[in-house]
Amino acid sequence: MQIADIKGNAKKTAANVSARDAMTGLARGLTVVVALAVSLSTAKAFNGATVPWTTYEAENMTISGGKIIGPDYGHNTVASESSGRECVQLNGTGQYVQFAAQTAANSIVVRYSVPDTSNGTGANYTISLYTNGVFVEKLPLTSVYSWRYGSYPFTNNPSAGSPRNFYDEVRTNNLSINPGDMVRLQVDSTDNATNYDIDLVDLENVASSLSQPAGYVSIVTQWGGRSHRRQQQHRRVSDGGPTNYLSAHLDSTRNLPH
């Protein structure tokens, strides 16, 4: 009788463990499904360090008319240089990528690639930024500082083949984006690139500029510096600034995101 009870209890315990494991597996499965659904609906990227901005992957955004390129693990392709090895290409008027902002933001960074010129000097383009369907501004894009060719130490000559360094970034601030707002990058009729490869968008709520501390002098007003050209300003202050000033303040007239 005791042996039968032990066997019976063992069977019950095994059944309970199996049921518990099944429920745990189901819960984990639901968690994965929910996380995937959130990722697909918001385009928010989840991996990486804790940073003050939120990254939205283009391939997870709502895509109208464009196409996903990748994933690609080869060499010399725009997809292989993309975050997550994928990007979205827009190549026609009216095409766009769009996503819902998860947090408040006043600035945006777009990682993009636009075509080089046949002589390798690059060209300037634009793309249109919208929030909630309302035009905000033209974002200036360029290929002047991207696209390298050949082997090390590389060249700007497209005839060398093996293109690389496709991407650049554009930043702007003084925006007003609230949680749930729809942010759109769209190719309008006045935007002039034949194609746009969009990798990702970062939104950040950049803090206000710091005020000038007592006892400091302003680089901008004292020596005509520009707040977003720090290296040139430092050289000018070091070479020609008055020696009796011990501290200088860098005016953040354009406090840009990362």
Q: What is the largest CA-CA distance in the chain?
A: 100
Provide, rounded to the nearest whole percent, the portion of the chain with pLDDT above 90.
59
- Within its chain, how far is the Cα of 11 from the centroid? 55
Integer Cα distance of 95 and 102 in angstroms: 23
> Does the pLDDT of residue 237 top 60, yes or no?
no
Q: Which of 28-42, 128-142, 235-249 has the lowest mean pLDDT?
A: 28-42
Instruction: Pull the structure tokens for residue 15.
Output: 């059944």
214 close to 220: Cβ distance less than 8 angstroms:
no
| pLDDT confidence band for 3 (50 / 70 / 90) | very low
pLDDT digits (tens, 9 = 90+) for 66-116: 999 999 999 999 999 999 999 999 999 999 999 999 999 999 999 999 999
What is the model's pLDDT at position 233?
A: 42
208 close to 235: Cβ distance less than 8 angstroms:
no
Topology adopted by domain 53-204: Jelly Rolls (2.60.120)
Q: Which of 3-17, 88-102, 132-146 has the lowest mean pLDDT?
A: 3-17
**Tokens 């189901």 label which residue?**
26
Per-position DSSP letters for 140-158, written without gaps between them: EEESTT--BBSSTT-BS-G
> Does the pLDDT of residue 219 top 80, yes or no?
no
Provide, rounded to the nearest whole percent, the portion of the chain with pLDDT above 70.
69
Instruction: Pull the structure tokens for residue 69.
Output: 């390129």
Per-position DSSP letters for 100-138, written without gaps between them: E-SS-BSEEEEEEE-PPPTTS---EEEEEEEETTEEEEE
Q: What is the mean pLDDT of residues 12-37?
A: 47
| pLDDT confidence band for 26 (50 / 70 / 90) | very low
Contacts of 212 (CB under 8 A, 6+ apart): 218, 249, 251
